[in-house]
Every structure is written in structure tokens, then in C-alpha cells.
A and B are shown apart, each in its own frame.
Chain A
Amino acid sequence: KAGVTQTPRYLIKTRGQQVTLSCSPISGHRSVSWYQQTPGQGLQFLFEYFSETQRNKGNFPGRFSGRQFSNSRSEMNVSTLELGDSALYLCASSLVGRGGTEAFFGQGTRLTVV
């Protein structure tokens, strides 16, 4: 069974640009969550999508957005990139809609903003 797939693995962008990251969950998983990981702030929750609807959102500015498609694949977008957006962006998928089940992570997309 294929795991969570994130593309691309590495990305370099310039300040002010926008970026779109992609996540394909494990087959059958309908919940997809996104996290930002930095050395200073650790792992922080961005948002979660379930059945194409954003169900939860963390404390990030509106420049961070996402969406989920009918096949459960998800994308996140960051507009007007800032240097501080450099991070590892992780996607996690879960089988059921009810909270309290394990989340499986992808390998992440390493975004560097220069």
C-alpha cells in the first residue's frame, strides 16, 4: 500500500512569489492535514481537510491556504512568500473522519525562500 506522497520534495522560491505544494494521501484516507516544521517553532498545525472541506485551521496568516479534491488529494498554497516561510511542510492523512486516529505523514516538501 503506497504511503503519503508529497511533491515536490525540494523547492526554492524568491520572496514575494507564491508556491503550491501537493499531497496524495493513502488510498481510502479522506482526512488530510498540513503542518509546518521549523527548527525554532517545531511542528505546527496549518489546516485539515475532510471531504473537500476545511475542517480545522491553525494560527497562520491568510497567505496560507489549501484545498482538497474529490479524490482526497490536497494542495496547499502560500502567497507572497516571506523568508520566514522557509520550512519543511508535512502532509498527514488519516483513515476516518472522526478525530482520534493515527495520522500518517509524508516525507515533506522542503521549501527554501531566498
Chain B
Amino acid sequence: GESVGLHLPTLSVQEGDNSIINCAYSNSASDYFIWYKQESGKGPQFIIDIRSNMDKRQGQRVTVLLNKTVKHLSLQIAATQPGDSAVYFCAEKGVRRNYGQNFVFGPGTRLSVLP
């Protein structure tokens, strides 16, 4: 399978602060991106998505920013809470066609919220 990296970056933030998690993607033809949250012992949980015709999308306490020029995606979490502690993955739809649900996942970032 594809190698998506061996090291899991960690981000530690104080409760109540804002968090920014970054992701670089490789396929310039990717047109759909998702952020997932994975807690220990659980499957990935959808947070927010964005299509390539947008550069920003907001949800409840979360914002995703897409910079296609540098192939960069970020997830901003406002007022981070202890329940936000998890591993966060970005995923891109990695095939240059309209059909198919085969996502390419980033290596993930572990978010640790400090009391």
C-alpha cells in the first residue's frame, strides 16, 4: 500500500485556546477533502468537508481552509475542549474521476488538550 508516513505529529493546546491542525496533500487533481477525528478504540468520525471550488468552510466550532496553490489544508478548532483530544486525519479523494470513494489519508495529528 501507499506510504503515508511513520511519524504522528502531536499538538498540545490549553483548554479554551484555538487549535490549528495542518495537512499537506499530494494530488493536485484532488477535488474533495475531509477532516476526520479518531478517538481511541473507535473508527474515524466525520468532522467537516470542503470541495476544491471553495477555500473556506465553517461548521460548529470548526473551520477548514483550503489552499490549492500550495496544496495545503488546515482545520481550526475554536475554544478547544477536552473532548477534542483525538487523532485528526485529513483525507483527499485521490482518483481523477468522478466516481469512487477511495480516499488517501494523511498520517494524522494527535491533539492533546491540557486542562
Contacts and interface: CB of A to CB of B under 8 A. Distances in A.
Interface string B46-88: 1001010000000000000000000000000000000000000
B32 A99 contact: yes
B13 interface: no
Interface of A: 4, 31, 33, 35-36, 40-45, 48, 50, 55-56, 58-60, 90, 92, 94, 97-108
Nearest to B34: A102
A44 B107 CA distance: 10
Given A58-B102, A98-B98, A99-B101, A4 B1 contact: no
A10 B94 CA distance: 30
Interface of B: 1-6, 31-32, 34, 36, 41-46, 49, 51, 89, 91, 93-95, 97-108
12 contacts: A41-B4, A42-B4, A42-B108, A48-B102, A56-B95, A97-B99, A99-B97, A99-B98, A102-B34, A105-B43, A105-B44, A107-B41
Given A42-B108, A43-B89, A104-B46, A59 B1 contact: yes
- Residue in A48, A55, A60, A99 whose Cβ sees the most chain B Cβ within 10 Å: A99
Contacts of B108: 42-43
B102 A44 contact: no
A33 B101 contact: yes
Given A90-B43, A99-B93, A102-B49, A55 B100 contact: yes
Contacts of A50: 99, 101
A101 B49 CA distance: 9
Nearest to B49: A102
Nearest to A44: B1
Contacts of A98: 98-99
Contacts of B100: 48, 55-56, 99
Given A43-B4, A99-B97, A105 B45 contact: yes
